[in-house]
Amino acid sequence: MDTVSVVSLRQVTKAFDKFTAVDEISLSIRQGTIYGLLGPNGAGKTTTIRMMMRIIYPDSGEIDVFGAPLRQVAKDRIGYLPEERGVYRKMKVIDLLTFFGEIKSMDARAARRAAHEWLARLELTDTATMKVEELSKGMQQKVQFIATILHAPDLIILDEPFSGLDPVNVNVLKDIILDFHRKGHTVVFSTHMMEQVEKLCQEICLINKGRKVLEGPLAETKKGYGRNSVTIRFQGDGSFLCDLPQVASSNNYGSELFLRLKDGADPNAILRAASDRLSIQKFEVSEPSIHDIFVEQVSAG
């Protein structure tokens, strides 16, 4: 087994009654990476993560965390932000954070100190003695995020961490994730918001309907799709471009058009065809975005 794997799944399957949520998924998450678990809603992301945490158990297959089946002690080295956010709403923020630190085997005083530091960094200092239920939804999310990383876990697992946050707070969280990454912590997060993946992740795993569609380093994955994508911004009706023989698939946004070309097709042919009938503002030959790969893979599957 790969010794630098923090998490590895081998042929893991989990079914709920007749519905197979996760179907023979194997994956390996290397130490120190930011790993994106991607997939549409209901693909099996949350089930996969819950099995990593041993909150639920796989029907078959093996899961290793830190090189061994997850034990109680190892849970202290993991910070987990579930998709379903939940806190003790009647508790004071500082008491809640201290408690979550304690059940990660932190010393109460250390937990309290760390909580105050994080509250300050996330501009929540004033809320320390307030009850959680008195905070806005966004603030509660930030408090829960602090609870996840309070004990500086080696492995941080975030299930849809950015959902429901405004762009400013998304940036704050992103910076914290990158900080941990720089210090060598491993971050796993699941999302269906592709822009974040593009910017943050080094490795991705795309799953759909419980099965793994592709896995690997982001750059390589994109390279695998080649530089045969074209983005055109224009004025006029460009829909005829989608029907050109060189085009494998297309995505029409009205004034911007995204085209994937067939193997060996010449992008210049597209440019010529377009320039005859449209006023072109931008023409770019590029790698496909993760979003495009995602849409293509999911709609193909």
**List of residues contacting another protein (CB under 8 A):** 50, 53, 55-57, 72, 75-76, 78, 80, 82, 84-91, 99-100, 102-105, 144, 147
**Residue 90 or 272 having the CB closest to another protein:** 90
Angle separating helix axes 108-121 and 137-149, nearest 10 degrees: 130
Shortest Å, Cβ 276 to another protein: 58
Shortest Å, Cβ 104 to another protein: 6
Residue 206 half-sphere exposure toward CB, CA atoms < 13 A: 22
In angstroms, the Cα distances linking 126 to 85, 91, 94, 113 are 22, 15, 11, 15
Supply angle C-alpha 256, 262, 264, rounded to 5.
120
Q: How far apart are the first and last CA of the chain?
A: 30
**Residue 4 or 56 having the CB closest to another protein:** 56
Shortest Å, Cβ 112 to another protein: 14
**Residue 59 or 287 having the CB closest to another protein:** 59
Locate all alpha helices (DSSP H) within the chain, ordered by sequence: 45-52, 72-75, 93-102, 108-121, 137-149, 167-182, 194-200, 218-224, 267-277, 290-300
Contact 115, 151 (CB under 8 A): no
**Residue 56 or 269 having the CB closest to another protein:** 56
Conformational region of residue 226, where left means phi above 0, alpha means psi within -120 to 50, and beta covers everything else: left
Shortest Å, Cβ 88 to another protein: 6
Alpha carbons 177 and 196: distance in angstroms, whole number: 12
- Across the chain, how many H-helices and E-strands are there? 10, 13
**Residue 23 or 76 having the CB closest to another protein:** 76
**Residue 78 or 230 having the CB closest to another protein:** 78
Shortest Å, Cβ 33 to another protein: 21
Shortest Å, Cβ 102 to another protein: 4
